[in-house]
Amino acid sequence: MMKKTIAREAKVEYVIGIDVGTSGTKGLLVREDGTTAATALAEYGLDTPRPGWAEQDPASWWQAASGVIAQLAAAAGTPEAIKCIGLTGQMHSSVFLDHRDEVIRPALLWCDQRTEDQVRAITEKVGFERLVDLTANRALTGFTAPKILWLREVEPKNYSRLRRLLLAKDYIRSRLTGDYATDVSDASGMLLFDVVRRRWSREVLDRLEIDPDILPEVFESPQVTGSVMAAVAADLGLAPGTPVVAGGGDQAAGAVGNGIVREGPCLITIGTSGVVFAVSTRPVIDPEARLHSFCHAAPGLWHTMGVMLSAGGSLRWLRETLRQAAPDLDYDRMGAAASTAPAGSDGLFFLPYLTGERTPHFDAEARGMFFGLSLTHGLGHLVRAVMEGVAYGLLDSVRLMREAGADMDAVYLSGGGGKSDLWASIMASALGLPVKRLSVDEGPSYGAAALALVGAGVYPDVAEVAARGLKVRDEVMPDPALVPTYAAGYCRYRSLYPAVAGLFRPGTES
């Protein structure tokens, strides 16, 4: 008698990717084959107690992350189905902890500009050229080291309590696993890290008189740093001992999530900030440090970045400002209005320096402005000028990368701004190059999940799993009729900042 064979459904296993962003924490539940099974999002606010300051309570990150993880764990069905967790998040944002691991004060974020005095002091103490030699970067207000000095000089009582310094995603790690760890890509943005040798710079720490014991241990991004503690696992629906990998800074993880792990492609991201990102097999260090040079989340690789602080954030600011008079105004209506305005916005320009600027000006006190306003300009002109101003600002970084020798064989576009057909078209015509739009909406969180798949042993290396993330939705071609318009517009745009830069300084008289 033949036995009847009963087909059994294959057991599905997952990883989780968590992105601790500026406006909220996103999470993905990803199957072992790289497909997404579930998503979750928890939002929170941003505090600006003074102009140029930006803070968040790390407790809001943990509340959001723990809720997102619990939702995704429930979607997985059983705690044991989650095989690994990957973390990413906003870079540079500094969490100060005391000896009880309690948060001393609100975190100072990547876009916080209060540390200009400390930036000057770091450059004087270390020397500009030596600092670039040691860290591959110049001192900037957004970086972590100036924040430590600010705490020491301005809030000495809080500084006396300091025992641990963590970045945003690494604070979540500490709450999950009890470990103090970070990865090479996130550490690269602290201005305390030897990017070439992928380790903390003892010389910088000594010159700045920073105790190395406050810093976390550094790992390569797909390495496991610890496992979820039993008490936390019970609260979140995870199995005790679920491994957690080092993860990566949001831009490096986003590049992994979008499949950018080889030399050649240029990834442009229009999120709250704007980033131009290119991969290299060796550190690319500009002697003038006009670009960021960081370790990539893929072991053995580095990446070069140009960063503008208010890209999609500029359009969001315009929307929120106009909503005070028109509460139902949304991005769709704004985009429709902008499409009625001509390329060049009838001579209206926007400088997107709402919170200062990094590339190419490195000016914490720069501010945004509309230039060329007239009675003929309406809503559509304002919106389109913002989109064009962001495109020009990103073109600044592309130009510098070309000067540094970057060989761009393809340009990819991601982030919320890339979803706009008009904005994508403006980018293509401003660049004079075809732009391939990527279909992965959650690049950083998907990249964190991809790193977790490597850490769980599902894939042998980052390159293999990242190849699954390179999914082109469409290609936007430059409009030949508009390329000259934007070339001329960019030339005029570049002349505006030098003309007004001196007026941004406090106390400058007209």
Kindly tell me if the per-residue pLDDT of 412 is higher than 80.
yes
Question: Could you tell me the pLDDT band of residue 483, with boundaries at 50, 70 and 90?
Answer: very high
C-alpha–C-alpha distance, residues 255 and 269, integer Å: 10
Kindly tell me if the per-residue pLDDT of 175 is higher than 90.
yes
Residue pair 350/389 in contact by the 8 Å Cβ criterion: yes
C-alpha–C-alpha distance, residues 141 and 316, integer Å: 23
pLDDT for the residue numbered 440: 67
pLDDT for the residue numbered 441: 65
Question: Could you tell me the pLDDT band of residue 508, with boundaries at 50, 70 and 90?
Answer: low
Q: Is residue 98 annotated as part of the catalytic site, yes or no?
A: no
C-alpha–C-alpha distance, residues 92 and 307, integer Å: 13
Q: What is the DSSP string of 358-374?
A: -TTT-BTT---EEES--
The stretch 386-412 carries a mean pLDDT of 90
- pLDDT tens digits, 4-31: 333 334 577 999 999 999 989 999 999 9
pLDDT for the residue numbered 8: 37
The stretch 111-120 carries a mean pLDDT of 93
**Bridge partners (DSSP) listed for residue 436:** 412, 475
Beta strands in 403-480 (DSSP E): 410-414, 435-438, 472-476
- pLDDT tens digits, 253-279: 999 998 899 888 899 999 888 999 999
Cβ atoms within 10 Å of 224's Cβ, excluding its own: 19
The stretch 70-94 carries a mean pLDDT of 97
pLDDT for the residue numbered 264: 87
C-alpha–C-alpha distance, residues 361 and 290, integer Å: 8
Kindly tell me if the per-residue pLDDT of 407 is higher than 80.
no
The stretch 89-100 carries a mean pLDDT of 96
Domains parsed from the chain with CATH numbers: 14-258 (3.30.420.40), 312-438+473-504 (3.30.420.40)
- pLDDT tens digits, 26-76: 999 999 999 999 999 999 999 999 988 999 999 999 999 999 999 999 999
Residue with tokens 């004060």: 105
C-alpha–C-alpha distance, residues 282 and 293, integer Å: 10
Kindly tell me if the per-residue pLDDT of 509 is higher than 60.
no
Q: Which of 112, 170, 250, 286 is catalytic?
A: 250
Backbone Cα Rg of the chain: 23
Q: What is the mean pLDDT of the chain?
A: 93
**Bridge partners (DSSP) listed for residue 438:** 472
pLDDT for the residue numbered 482: 97
**Bridge partners (DSSP) listed for residue 350:** 370
Cβ atoms within 10 Å of 470's Cβ, excluding its own: 18
Q: Nearest Cα to 286, choosing from 199, 397, 208?
A: 397
C-alpha–C-alpha distance, residues 331 and 169, integer Å: 30
Kindly tell me if the per-residue pLDDT of 506 is higher than 60.
yes
Pair of tokens at residue 82: 């989650």
